[in-house]
Structure 1
Amino acid sequence: MALIRQLIRLLLLLSLHCRWLTTALPAVEEAAVELDVLSCPSSCVCQYAAFNELPIARWVNHMTSLDESLDAAEYLLPSHIKLATCLLQQATETQALLSALPIDLNALILLHTGQADNQLTVNTSSLRPLNQLITLEIRGTGATTLIIDEPLEYLQHANFEQINLQASDRLERPKYSKLPSDDYEYKPPSEVLEDNEATPKSQLQFEAETQPEIMTYEQHVERLKQTRMPSFYGWSRLEVLRIHNCRLQELHWQIFDGLGALHHLSLERNGIEELQPFAFSGALHLKSLSLAHNALSRLHYLGLAGLLQLEQLNLAHNYLERLSEVSFPPLPRLQKADLRQNPVRNIWPATFWVMNNTKELLLGSELAALELRSFSNYGQFDSLHKLRSLSLSNVSSVNLEQNVFKGLHSLESLTLRGRIASVQFDAFAGLEQLRELDLSNCSIVELSMDAFMGLKRLEQLQLAHNNLSSLPNGLLDDLLQLESLQLQGNQLHTLPSSFFLQRRLRVARLDQNPWECSCDMRHWLPRLTNVRRMGSEQRCMRDLQGEQINCRSVASYQQDKSLVPRCANYNGRSVYYVLRKQLHCDSMLILHTHSEQQQHAWPAALAQAAVASSWGQA
């Protein structure tokens, strides 16, 4: 077993050295510095590496790329840094290894490759001599423990994966005379109505929900001591913190207290069941927060209270079953909320009243059907006036009716999946900015003639893989900008005669339908049905200096004969073959001008002579 571990270590070190040959040498020439290879411990590889290649850096760049308001100069990352990647195997060797590291390291990655019974402990105090450290990553196998006994105030990025986090008994914690709740004044509509019956929209009925218990400060401190809950107090320069799969099941406000510079926090796969009140009140400048892949079954507004700068919220893959007016606190800058893979069955009124600037919302899970309905004059997504993209999976609605999407004046993309028997008239009324509507795989049987009334800017309509057997006349009359229409995988036999009169139509997917072919289909156009819409490409004009100006995205299209619609009444042959060869629908009188008759006179005479000769030979 020891020999196998040594071989694994050797292979990893060789791979890291090979990577150093390809990445470090160019960096050395550019930075004109020398590698400190001689002082690097034998279980480590020290190199100059591109910061953007580190796992934590890729996540940082991903999150900042989503942040349109973030100035590039505000988050300036070093191009190359001095990195040490070390293998930790024996607990007795750990302290000696850390003591031997070059003190001018910028990034440190510690990998624990031991078995589950090979317990290993690292203290933050042993890392304090590395005072130029910017990035710290510790990845284990569940048998690694990081003891936080002293703060690492110089760190900017920290990534902890599959390790245990514990606080030392001698860790200094902040002392406050009051809790964050003392200064918090927000109340949800259900609580405001008790004091003010004249509140607008008061005719809505709110469901009562119990408020989580708020402990006294003394109770809180005593609990922290008992549980050895970690605290990052004093890590004042920390901007990015990822704690994944570390069994951090409970969150308390003192864990992140004092992290005023923290912008991105990810706490995925920790088994978190509930958010304690004001859990993130010590990091009020968070721009992104991920609690995905946990065990949250209930969401109360006090859990996220105070995050007025939050722009990205990821709550995907939890166990939330309902959303109401007490689920969220005010989140005035929230741009994206990801709630996918939560068994949400109901969205009650006023749920999103505190998220007025949100631009993207994702909901739905295979575990439970999401009911779409309206309440009096209000939709389930009321007040999301700036929402641009809405995606809902596994929805349930016998009849998709009016007011469900009321108030979404800025919506540009709407995607629905689930079971919707019929779409009633004016179901999408008020969505004047809608450009993409995807109703594929929704089991739709019937469409009202006025189902898409008012969608004058709609460019893409997807109705693929439903149960439509016919389309009503005039269904597309209001869609003046329609470019792509997906109808494949339905039960269509015929189409309205005006179907191909859409002026801007470029794609009409009609394959995988049991077409009853007749000469009424002679106006069908293969240049529309046998084409696939590809991705968008950017086209720009250039000024006198050759610089690109006035750039815009233009969709591209590609011919694909495999998409040809086929006739059910002619053994699945191509519609256009049947029309031409079997029904002879193209045998019609062609009128020519006098000049055209002269041009075709000689070829026609030759053809007649050839026919006469062949008959004579016969």
Structure 2
Amino acid sequence: MRMITIMTLMKLMIVMLIQCQLHAALPHGEVEFEVDVEADPIAEQDRSNCPSSCSCQYAAFNELPIARWVNHMTSADDDTNLDDADFLMPSRIKLATCLLQEEKETQLLLNALPIDLQALILLHTGSLNNQLTVNTSSLRVLNQLMTLEIRGTDTTTLIIDEPLEFLQHANFEGLRLQASDKLQRPKYSKLPSDDYEYKPPSDVAGNEVTPKYQLQFEADAAVEIMSYEQHVERLKQTRMPSFHGWSRMEVLRIHNCQLNQLHWQMFDGLTQLHYLSLERNDIEELQPFAFSGAPHLRSLSLAHNSVARLYYLGLAGLLELETLNLADNHLERLSESSFPPLPRLQKADLRQNPIMYILPATFWVMNDTRELQLGSEVAALELRSWNSYGQFDSLHKLQKLHLGNVTTASLEQGVFKGLQSLEQLTLRGSIVSVQFDAFAGMEQLRELDMSQCGIVELSMDAFMGVKRLQLLNLSHNNLTHVPNGLLDDQQQLEMVQLQGNQLITLPTRFFQQPRLRAARLDQNPWQCSCDMSSWKPRLTNAIRLPSVKSCIRDIHGQDISCRHVVSYETDKSLVPRCANYNGRSVYYVMRKQLHCGAMLILTPSKASSTRGLPHWRKLEMQKQQQHLNSSKKPKQKKKPSKKQHKVHFAQRNSLDLILRQQQQQEQQQMQHNEASLPASETQEMSNEI
């Protein structure tokens, strides 16, 4: 009985450790899910065969860490359709989670596992004195295994001595990968470069910006002529791991495993591999054709490494790649020789790289990209146009662009040339002024975020042509005034954010936007006067809530059509305040201290007749129209009020009213008689009076 109690406590500790490991395995910012592990009555007979250091149960495959990671990496917006339905499997699989302690017990533990396991998680949390080695050959008996996860420390080593051709998903974290001398490597004599014909325009012209990277197999500067057998022996000596023979592999995740060198034979033959992540391995350089052995890759992550130079041969052959993550590396510039043709690339993440320059023709080989992210706190990205070329030419289908820590004295026309499909643009950094037509040609732009850019000056025609703009964020800049007519071309505008500037007044026509639902004006030194009578509290005290997805479903519960619904709510803490009245609310000052009376409601003029005209001409036409309206207005008699009419209606049949009417008639008759008398008689009567 005591032994059973100890085993039960040990399994509880294992389960708690598993949950901690699962939460740590998720990327930052992901919502943590509880693993729904439900005991299956069929598995009760197998629990007695489960080793004491393991926990065996049936679990949904989609709730395993490797499945949740893939779902997180492929979770895109509704605009992109990534077909990952083949990866999600709703069936429940047999799972074993084991805690590895000593090396001599590892083989016994693996031999005691049920041979019909479909998923296996091995955890090792040993000390420096507790070395642990696991060979892939010891796992070949589990030939029904689909998913393998091994998490360890620097004292954990996985030796690849035999391929696991039945494995589909593998996750290795915090351990060392080594290849055995017995590992059979492919005996190919043909190099990947033999069939690769693409060259960037600079290489074809012979005036390349950077020297061409020659395909070599040695790190030494001196090239040594050797046979293929000698080359294989050299690879064996370095013990570089190779996954050749893992033919059914679909997901491979190697994080923090000291895999700092890549070779074209490492992933050779992985034709089923779709998701590859090599984060936190201190990779400094991408060897030529490093991933050409996995031609059907859809997602590649090299984030959190030390890649300082990107040459197009390093990513050559990935014609089906959809997501590329190179965030948090050491890249300093991008040019036309950085990327090979990536015709299906949807998303590229290059954040946290000290990129200072983007040379022309950099993105000419990424014609289908929908989302691009750049920017780092370490170095400022220079925004400029190169003669007739922009820095983002050929990105005709790009919908989202995020640029952090940019620098330019004046944002001029031509920088964003060619981005005619862009819908969301986010800029951060240092931009002193925004000149006229800076966003010309961006007719699909819906959201423009230029907050925290230090903007001092805005041209009156800065947003000319951006007619579908719905959200404009200019908060936390150094604006001292808003030019008249700045938003005349934005008839679809719903929200404007101007908080955190140095504004003291706004144009009178600012609140005449027909679809405006929120205007953030707080944190500005407003100089309050009755000229602010057109301000509307329901707009300045409103806050935008996150959009909610609303779908119409059929009888089977499938989505037919979906759209994002945006709502607003009132927040009185956002009310703008007067700097010249001790920080009191604008509306309180106008009502109580300035006595401005009722708010002035301005009727918007017809924009169709003045669209495209200068602001001074619009004001002149408005004055002329007001003068014409005042001259044509006919004079009307003053009508009695409703109260007077009601009193008259109640008294018209009363006796008093009849007597008063008779007296009035008699007085009128007497006046008429007096007027008809001769002048002498009138004079005698007046003397008598």
Give the structure-1-normalised TM-score. 0.89
Q: Supply the distance in 1 between the matched residues of 2:360 and 2:545 (Cα, whole angstroms).
A: 39
Change (3 A) 1:23 1:457: closer
2:210 aligned partner: 209
Change (3 A) 1:600 1:60: farther
1:422-441 equivalence runs, <5 A: 422-441=433-452
Q: Supply the distance in 2 between the matched residues of 1:356 and 1:588 (Cα, whole angstroms).
A: 52
2:687 aligned partner: none
Shift of 1:53: 1.9
Q: 1:87 aligns with which of 74, 99, 117?
A: 99
Contact 2:375 2:404 in 1 (8 A): yes
Q: 2:174 aligns with which of 162, 168, 171?
A: 162
CA shift digits 1:29-88 (9 cap, x unpaired): 6xx554511111111111111222211110122234439544455334243111111111
Q: Supply the distance in 2 between the matched residues of 1:544 and 1:155 (Cα, whole angstroms).
A: 39
Q: 2:429 aligns with which of 399, 402, 418?
A: 418
Is the partner of 2:167 in helix, strand or coil? coil
Change (3 A) 1:10 1:547: closer
Shift of 1:208: 1.5
Is the partner of 1:302 in helix, strand or coil? helix
Counterpart check, 1:393 vs 2:394? no
CA shift digits 1:70-118 (9 cap, x unpaired): 4455334243111111111111111111111110101100000111231
Is the partner of 1:165 in helix, strand or coil? strand
Shift of 1:291: 0.1
Shift of 1:227: 1.1
1:585-596 equivalence runs, <5 A: 585-586=596-597
Contact 2:67 2:88 in 1 (8 A): no
Is the partner of 2:235 in helix, strand or coil? helix
Shift of 1:193: 2.5
How many correspondences in the alignment?
Answer: 582
Larger-gyration structure (1/2): 2
Is the partner of 1:142 in helix, strand or coil? coil
Is the partner of 2:534 in helix, strand or coil? coil
Whichever residue aligns with residue 506 of structure 2, its letter is L
Whichever residue aligns with residue 306 of structure 2, its letter is A
Q: 1:499 aligns with which of 504, 507, 510?
A: 510
2:253 aligned partner: 242
1:36 aligned partner: 46
1:556-571 equivalence runs, <5 A: 556-571=567-582
1:13 aligned partner: 14
Shift of 1:211: 2.1
Contact 1:269 1:292 in 2 (8 A): yes
Q: 1:186 aligns with which of 188, 191, 198?
A: 198
Change (3 A) 1:193 1:580: same
Is the partner of 1:275 in helix, strand or coil? coil
1:616 aligned partner: none
Whichever residue aligns with residue 259 of structure 1, its letter is L
Counterpart check, 1:59 vs 2:69? yes
CA shift digits 1:399-423 (9 cap, x unpaired): 0001100000100000000000000
Q: 1:118 aligns with which of 88, 113, 130?
A: 130
Shift of 1:541: 6.2
Q: 1:508 aligns with which of 484, 495, 519?
A: 519
Q: Supply the distance in 1 between the matched residues of 2:216 and 2:115 (Cα, whole angstroms).
A: 43
Q: 1:225 aligns with which of 209, 221, 236?
A: 236
Q: Supply the distance in 1 between the matched residues of 2:485 and 2:454 (Cα, whole angstroms).
A: 22
Whichever residue aligns with residue 126 of structure 1, its letter is S
Q: 1:327 aligns with which of 338, 343, 352?
A: 338
1:531-550 equivalence runs, <5 A: 531-539=542-550, 550=561
Counterpart check, 1:275 vs 2:286? yes
Q: Supply the distance in 1 between the matched residues of 2:18 and 2:557 (Cα, whole angstroms).
A: 44
- Structure 2, unaligned runs of 5 or more: 1-5, 21-33, 218-226, 602-637, 648-689
Q: Supply the distance in 1 between the matched residues of 2:296 and 2:594 (Cα, whole angstroms).
A: 71
Whichever residue aligns with residue 126 of structure 2, its letter is G
Q: Supply the distance in 1 between the matched residues of 2:502 and 2:347 (Cα, whole angstroms).
A: 37
Change (3 A) 1:93 1:417: same
Change (3 A) 1:597 1:88: farther
2:605 aligned partner: none
Is the partner of 1:12 in helix, strand or coil? helix
Structure 1 range deviating more: 548-557 or 384-393: 548-557
Q: Supply the distance in 2 between the matched residues of 1:159 and 1:589 (Cα, whole angstroms).
A: 66
Shift of 1:226: 2.1
Q: Supply the distance in 1 between the matched residues of 2:254 and 2:191 (Cα, whole angstroms).
A: 25
Shift of 1:594: 5.7
Change (3 A) 1:451 1:165: same
Shift of 1:580: 0.3
- Structure 1, unaligned runs of 5 or more: 195-205, 602-618
Q: 1:172 aligns with which of 162, 169, 184?
A: 184
Q: Supply the distance in 1 between the matched residues of 2:289 and 2:384 (Cα, whole angstroms).
A: 32
Counterpart check, 1:289 vs 2:300? yes
1:469 aligned partner: 480
Q: Supply the distance in 2 between the matched residues of 1:598 and 1:123 (Cα, whole angstroms).
A: 103
Contact 2:179 2:241 in 1 (8 A): yes
Contact 1:408 1:430 in 2 (8 A): yes
Whichever residue aligns with residue 51 of structure 1, its letter is F
CA shift digits 1:220-242 (9 cap, x unpaired): 53442221000000000000000
Q: Supply the distance in 2 between the matched residues of 1:542 and 1:104 (Cα, whole angstroms).
A: 40
Larger relative contact order (CA 8 Å, sep ≥ 6): 1
Contact 1:493 1:516 in 2 (8 A): yes
CA shift digits 1:295-336 (9 cap, x unpaired): 000000000000000000000000000000000000000000
Change (3 A) 1:154 1:515: same
2:25 aligned partner: none
Shift of 1:22: 9.0
Q: Supply the distance in 2 between the matched residues of 1:599 and 1:157 (Cα, whole angstroms).
A: 88
Q: Supply the distance in 2 between the matched residues of 1:73 and 1:397 (Cα, whole angstroms).
A: 44
List 4+ stretches of structure 1 deviating above 6 A. 5-8, 16-19, 541-548, 598-601
Contact 1:264 1:289 in 2 (8 A): yes
1:613 aligned partner: none
Q: 1:255 aligns with which of 263, 266, 277?
A: 266
Whichever residue aligns with residue 291 of structure 2, its letter is F
Kindly report the root-mean-square deviation, in angstroms, between the aligned alpha carbons of the 2 structures: 2.8
CA shift digits 1:476-517 (9 cap, x unpaired): 011111000000000000001110011111010000000000
Counterpart check, 1:443 vs 2:454? yes
Change (3 A) 1:268 1:25: closer
Is the partner of 2:122 in helix, strand or coil? strand
Structure 1 range deviating more: 218-227 or 384-393: 218-227
Is the partner of 1:97 in helix, strand or coil? helix
Q: Supply the distance in 2 between the matched residues of 1:14 and 1:533 (Cα, whole angstroms).
A: 42
